[in-house]
Structure 1
Amino acid sequence: MLLIPYIAKYTQLPIKSIENTVALLNEDCTVPFISRYRKERTGNLDEVQIGDIVTYKAQFEALEKRKKAILKALEEQEVLTPELKKTIEATDDLVTLEDIYLPFKKSRKTKAETARKNGLEPLAKIIMAQNAEEIEYIASQYVGKEVPNEDDALEGARHIISEWINERLDIRNQIRNQLEKFAQITTKVIGTKKDDEKAQKYRDYFDWSESLSRCPSHRLLAILRAENEGFIRVKIEIDDDKAISKIEDRILKSNNSCSEQIKLAVQDAYKRLLLPSLSNETLKLAKEKADEAAISVFSKNLKQLLLGSPLGEKRILAIDPGFRTGCKVVCLSAQGDLEHNETIYPHAPQNDTSGAIKKISSLTDAYKIEAIAIGNGTASRETEQLIKRIQFKNPIEVFVVSEAGASIYSASKIARDEFPNYDVTVRGAVSIGRRLADPLAELVKIDAKSIGVGQYQHDVDQAKLKNSLDTVVESCVNFVGVNINTASTSLLSYVSGIGPKLAENIVAYRNENGPFPSRAAIKKVPRLGEKAFEQGAAFLRIKNAKNPLDDSAVHPESYAIVQQMTKDKGVAISDLIGNKKELQTIDLKAYTTDTIGLPTLEDIIQELEKPGLDLREKAKVFTFNQNIKTITDLREGQLLPGIVNNITNFGCFVDVGIKESGLIHISNLSDTFVKDVNEHVSLHQQVIVKVLEVDVPRKRIQLALHK
């Protein structure tokens, strides 16, 4: 099996595109760079398609590595035949590969192995031939010191036959097929845990049964979490009689005393070996699919969050609200630098409302504040109402900002390095303000799992989750682009070809030598070679550079083409940039070469029309219903403004301005069938919802999307 056909089999992409993409990956090119600047070589593949190639390339390499390990083990056992080697090398599926290797595995002492040592394998072969009539008499010839009687001899022979049945590929695949189509997942509560307070959130699964293939990913993960926490037992079941009958149909050739022994061996093989092993395998595969679904939802949500609307470079006053400990207030410059911090106490128990209002008014004047960011945690609504009572001299927009993960950031090494002389409360407030200015730049400093836009993130495969989330962050950072003269080490580390160490070197060089005047100057950074420059330069922006192309997505390798265009037009680059009418008159075919085709040239023209433009929408002010303060204020039928704060496969959660978020079940998103929740709502979207049901004791709110 070869790599390119293997990838083509699963992706259905053109062979040439796969070959060229694999070659670029082997040259240490990144996915964002390949998808954006090597379109001619890939056949214009997008990031998702290139990501699929990366996935199946890794899968193939893991398969080949396992094949080598198995072939080596078989050679050491001196059982590797040319036919077996050929079969293994042609296998393109890991499950099949392990089935082929199963008879040769050096396992712990088994019943079949004991029977072989007792000399019972010839008897097992006689039974499997199904020709003998008096098998009990034949069995008596195998009685000895280790085999006391005929029954023990027959039992030992059956253990060997059971192992043979278990190792047959056709039978294993037959049981797999039945499990795939007909498996039921059933749960039972553990009696001693039924009244446990912690178990109550799983009470729906105290006695549950449904088709495993139809069990939604979120439900399966919830069931498995309940099992892991020791509240329920989980079983995977199929029709045992039907499964055993199908095995017998494949093996039985006669109706004599041998066939009776084989029937007993079939039952033993099925119940002791096949079903436990393959039901665990089936559940594992179902868990992997559920993981993939959960990770996919998490990744989509994270992408929407990272690409959330930035307010931009504004002078911001940020407040981390609180009651007893007060509200932490910080004033930030337009570049996000901390200029002032203090604490106000407008709420109980101090209730210094007038003092807080005076202080906020004074600070907004002194630091020429243009916007106020309020964290959405404890005392958020009360603080927002306080701020809206203030008569500011100049118009100031007030925003409520998600605090998710802010406490993680404030206690992190990144935060300590940024603000070594301030405590966690000040750092948290700064993070809230910076999130308003630029969500992407601030959120990259936090472990994505701590941002709170996924479900069951601690239950899924952690390596796959990290890889997926890192890919999302990398994609978002490179999609937006990074101002190299203001970006943090965290943000720079996600730029194509840069990574953590070079990011540190860039910041250190910038601190020592001042802002980079041009992209070419980036090459002066220690250890930043030609490859890193090729991969990352076009994603790094230089504001107010001498060459305006340095603040665009045009790659430096294409500068000469733009310069030729301007020369042919008889104008300066600055006259061509933003001149859509003039740009549309350029004959792109005249600039094609062996390596640069129309896809790249069309991207260049599109970028020249709006160079350095931030493609994200600007942040908008949002106001909750001021009369709704707790869950007890909700009534069925109410229409309320809300913000989507999490999306799952079964619906979305909406913040209506109280502690508990409400759920819009997928069935309440539209009057028609909804296949994908993301087609109807997006993270942080402002919506109007209708209250359907309020369960105060369980703190559950059912909502519908109001059109």
Structure 2
Amino acid sequence: KTLTALEDIYLPYKPKRKTRASVAKEKGLEPLALRILSQSRIEPNDEAKQYINTEKGVANIDEALAGARDIIAEMVSENADARTKMRNHFMQKATYKTVVAKGKEEAGIKYKDYFEWEESAKTAPSHRVLAMLRGEEEGFLKLNVLPPDEPAVELLENQFLIARNSSADQVQLAITDGYKRLLRPAMETELRAAIKQKADEEAIKVFAANARQLLLAAPLGQKNVLAIDPGFRTGCKVVCLDKQGQLLVNTTIYPHTGQGNLKDAEFQLKQLCERHNVEAIAIGNGTAGRETETFVRGLKIPDVLIVMVNESGASIYSASPLAREEFPTQDITVRGAVSIGRRLMDPLAELVKIDPKSIGVGQYQHDVDQSKLQKSLDDTVMSCVNAVGVELNTASKQVLAYVSGLGDTLAQNIVNYRNANGAFKNRESLKKVPRLGGKAFEQAAGFLRIRDAKQVLDSSGVHPERYALVNQMAKDLGCTVDDLIKDLNLQKQINLQRYVTAEVGLPTLTDIVKELAKPGRDPREKFEAFSFAEGVNS
């Protein structure tokens, strides 16, 4: 049984506020309702006469029958089988119907596609569901999610009508009332919640996929970069970064505000590129981005790569405590330009500094369940960081925090230890970090790399727990681990079945051999520059 089915069974016994049925029961009309519902050969009017009682508020036959129908209507609406059938019917046959709210035609023009819209609730894509719900929430649309009434009522009649007589006529009236007044609103509320949940899940999957694509974008690598945060009237903020992403110099140029300023901008950019041996220019893709790209390409600076960079969330980073801590004397525009340049060098290392919800991962992200969205995006960032691996001796606190098993506190402890004691020589020395216990080491060690470590496996994705296993493989082949890593033919000679144990299965062994073939290699694609066709500016 599902939780929904259990709730249906409990519904008739659930304490509830005063209803028309409960009032009728207080008037003593429940026996009459049960007699009518049995649809035996009785005359309802004659039967109802017995229940006229002015002291209880039943003044005549019509009032007695109306009260009995109220009781039957509630019984129909709370019947577990009826609710199951109706729930399935709504899921299959309900349609979204939207119309523009009266007098909101101009104010709600962005929802004009939904001013008179109808489509199946079962097949409506998540982005349209979220758009309609937002339009309703903002008061521009009137929305119903219902199937046609007649087939729904017919389903109930097939279940509850068992005769053709005057009692059955009363039951039929109660069924129609129970559906329209009680069951239909309840089912619509349930359906809305179910479809909203489904739309949220689908949208969150899209958001997570988009975030993964941004995070795993190909890195340019360690290059001298000049980064530009474009602008028209306020000018373009320009920064020069060294190969480690450190800020060297910043200035502002005005290539879009007049011929004199254009010449000055040309001179400044060429001078900066020559002075700092710039290898690539990163241009933010926001306002004036395409115009700035055209201007820079027109300079024809030799041997310099020009790349448009997604700047979503750069303004969030530039105003964050982290950015203020890193660049306390610079204004937010300079910090934003630095972020754009670093994104070109290593998108993952820079984007982890920003709340995943702020990097522009999709439409309607503020309409979905925020806790589920946050968890999904955090899991995506962690997955990306762990898939790429983290250089232990250079990674920032923000990157380390996403390594499995660490978190903010241990990440800060690692940075503090590194600052106090110098670079980590091997993975084992991680155990000296305060509060980093065996469990955290077990979870994190395989994702942390130490370039040029004495133990060659410390720069790979092989976990320290499996070093002995790799040493055994090399010993069995009569070579060193270094030889095994360098020689693909030796790797092909490894008989994996020989090393299968209760603790180490074939999938783990396969992963180890794959890692030996490319120890520490970045799984992200190789960087390739692209450019838009000339004359296209928006």
TM range (shorter): over 0.9
Distance in 2 (alpha carbons) for counterparts of 1:358 and 1:513: 45
Q: Deviations over 1:435-486 (max 9, x none)?
A: 1011111112222222223121112222222222222111111111111222
For residue 457 of structure 1, what is the amino acid of its counterpart?
A: Q
Give the corresponding residue for 2:246. 337
Give the corresponding residue for 2:183. 274
Is contact 1:217–1:289 with CA below 8 Å preserved after alignment? yes
Residue 529 of structure 1: CA displacement? 0.7
Distance in 1 (alpha carbons) for counterparts of 2:162 and 2:498: 76
Would you say 1:154 and 2:62 are equivalent positions? Answer: no
- Matched-pair identity in %: 54
Listed as ranges, the matches of 1:431-446 within 5 Å are: 431-446=339-354
Distance in 2 (alpha carbons) for counterparts of 1:607 and 1:277: 56
SS at match of 1:214: coil
Once structures 1 and 2 are overlaid, which stretch shifts more, 126-135 or 323-332?
126-135
Distance in 2 (alpha carbons) for counterparts of 1:379 and 1:232: 35
Rg: which structure is higher? 2
Distance in 2 (alpha carbons) for counterparts of 1:161 and 1:465: 44
Listed as ranges, the matches of 1:104-119 within 5 Å are: 104-119=13-28
Give the corresponding residue for 2:432. 524
Is contact 1:130–1:254 with CA below 8 Å preserved after alignment? yes
Distance in 1 (alpha carbons) for counterparts of 2:64 and 2:420: 84
Q: Deviations over 1:239-258 (max 9, x none)?
A: 32222222122112223332
Residue 349 of structure 1: CA displacement? 5.0
The one of 31, 44, 54 aligned to 1:135 = 44
Would you say 1:472 and 2:383 are equivalent positions? Answer: no
Listed as ranges, the matches of 1:610-621 within 5 Å are: 610-621=518-529
Distance in 1 (alpha carbons) for counterparts of 2:116 and 2:262: 54
For residue 171 of structure 1, what is the amino acid of its counterpart?
A: A
Listed as ranges, the matches of 1:292-331 within 5 Å are: 292-331=201-240
Change in CA separation of 1:420 and 1:100 when aligned onto 2, cut-off 3 Å: farther
Give the corresponding residue for 1:367. 276
- Unaligned ranges ≥5, structure 2: none
Residue 166 of structure 1: CA displacement? 0.9
Is contact 1:323–1:349 with CA below 8 Å preserved after alignment? no
Distance in 2 (alpha carbons) for counterparts of 1:251 and 1:590: 68
Distance in 1 (alpha carbons) for counterparts of 2:349 and 2:425: 22
Give the corresponding residue for 1:191. 102
Listed as ranges, the matches of 1:40-59 within 5 Å are: none
- Unaligned ranges ≥5, structure 1: 1-90, 630-657, 659-707
Change in CA separation of 1:101 and 1:419 when aligned onto 2, cut-off 3 Å: farther
Listed as ranges, the matches of 1:609-688 within 5 Å are: 609-629=517-537, 658=538
For residue 251 of structure 2, what is the amino acid of its counterpart?
A: E
Is contact 1:544–1:551 with CA below 8 Å preserved after alignment? yes
SS at match of 1:492: helix
Distance in 2 (alpha carbons) for counterparts of 1:405 and 1:349: 30
For residue 627 of structure 1, what is the amino acid of its counterpart?
A: G
Give the corresponding residue for 2:265. 356
Is contact 1:324–1:349 with CA below 8 Å preserved after alignment? no
Is contact 1:298–1:454 with CA below 8 Å preserved after alignment? yes
Distance in 2 (alpha carbons) for counterparts of 1:505 and 1:551: 21
Distance in 2 (alpha carbons) for counterparts of 1:589 and 1:367: 55
SS at match of 2:10: helix
Distance in 1 (alpha carbons) for counterparts of 2:176 and 2:510: 67
For residue 269 of structure 1, what is the amino acid of its counterpart?
A: G
Give the corresponding residue for 2:138. 229
Distance in 2 (alpha carbons) for counterparts of 1:245 and 1:418: 69
Change in CA separation of 1:351 and 1:224 when aligned onto 2, cut-off 3 Å: farther
Q: Deviations over 1:202-238 (max 9, x none)?
A: 1121112222223222222212211111111111232
SS at match of 1:352: helix
Give the corresponding residue for 2:470. 562
Would you say 1:571 and 2:482 are equivalent positions? Answer: no
Distance in 2 (alpha carbons) for counterparts of 1:391 and 1:231: 51
Q: Deviations over 1:186-213 (max 9, x none)?
A: 112112112x2x4112112111222222
Is contact 1:407–1:424 with CA below 8 Å preserved after alignment? yes
SS at match of 1:399: strand
For residue 189 of structure 1, what is the amino acid of its counterpart?
A: V
The one of 583, 591, 609 aligned to 2:491 = 583
Change in CA separation of 1:251 and 1:475 when aligned onto 2, cut-off 3 Å: same
Listed as ranges, the matches of 1:587-602 within 5 Å are: 587-602=495-510
Give the corresponding residue for 1:253. 162
The one of 349, 355, 359 aligned to 1:447 = 355
Higher relative contact order (CA 8 A, sep 6+): 2
Give the corresponding residue for 1:385. 294
Once structures 1 and 2 are overlaid, which stretch shifts more, 606-615 or 128-137?
128-137
Change in CA separation of 1:247 and 1:355 when aligned onto 2, cut-off 3 Å: same
For residue 95 of structure 2, what is the amino acid of its counterpart?
A: Q
Is contact 1:578–1:610 with CA below 8 Å preserved after alignment? no
Q: Deviations over 1:623-668 (max 9, x none)?
A: 2122233xxxxxxxxxxxxxxxxxxxxxxxxxxxx1xxxxxxxxxx
For residue 193 of structure 1, what is the amino acid of its counterpart?
A: K
Distance in 1 (alpha carbons) for counterparts of 2:15 and 2:323: 52
Give the corresponding residue for 1:175. 86
Residue 611 of structure 1: CA displacement? 0.6
Change in CA separation of 1:351 and 1:199 when aligned onto 2, cut-off 3 Å: farther
Would you say 1:95 and 2:4 are equivalent positions? Answer: yes
Change in CA separation of 1:255 and 1:388 when aligned onto 2, cut-off 3 Å: closer
Residue 351 of structure 1: CA displacement? 4.3
Change in CA separation of 1:541 and 1:239 when aligned onto 2, cut-off 3 Å: same
Change in CA separation of 1:391 and 1:250 when aligned onto 2, cut-off 3 Å: closer
SS at match of 2:282: strand
SS at match of 1:289: helix
Distance in 1 (alpha carbons) for counterparts of 2:414 and 2:63: 76
Distance in 1 (alpha carbons) for counterparts of 2:98 and 2:288: 42
Distance in 1 (alpha carbons) for counterparts of 2:111 and 2:51: 55
Distance in 2 (alpha carbons) for counterparts of 1:306 and 1:483: 16
Listed as ranges, the matches of 1:485-524 within 5 Å are: 485-524=393-432
Give the corresponding residue for 2:458. 550
SS at match of 2:22: helix
Once structures 1 and 2 are overlaid, which stretch shifts more, 216-225 or 521-530?
216-225
TM-score by length of 1: 0.73
Distance in 1 (alpha carbons) for counterparts of 2:294 and 2:121: 49
For residue 406 of structure 1, what is the amino acid of its counterpart?
A: A
SS at match of 1:374: strand
Residue 589 of structure 1: CA displacement? 2.8
Listed as ranges, the matches of 1:378-417 within 5 Å are: 378-390=287-299, 392=301, 395-417=303-325
Is contact 1:372–1:396 with CA below 8 Å preserved after alignment? yes
Distance in 2 (alpha carbons) for counterparts of 1:129 and 1:587: 77
Give the corresponding residue for 2:390. 482
Is contact 1:517–1:542 with CA below 8 Å preserved after alignment? yes
SS at match of 1:348: coil
Is contact 1:322–1:378 with CA below 8 Å preserved after alignment? yes
SS at match of 1:624: coil
Figure out how many residues of one structure are paired with residues of the other and give that number.
536
Would you say 1:534 and 2:442 are equivalent positions? Answer: yes
TM-score by length of 2: 0.95
Residue 132 of structure 1: CA displacement? 5.1
Give the corresponding residue for 2:32. 123
Is contact 1:345–1:351 with CA below 8 Å preserved after alignment? no
Distance in 1 (alpha carbons) for counterparts of 2:331 and 2:393: 27
Change in CA separation of 1:270 and 1:351 when aligned onto 2, cut-off 3 Å: farther
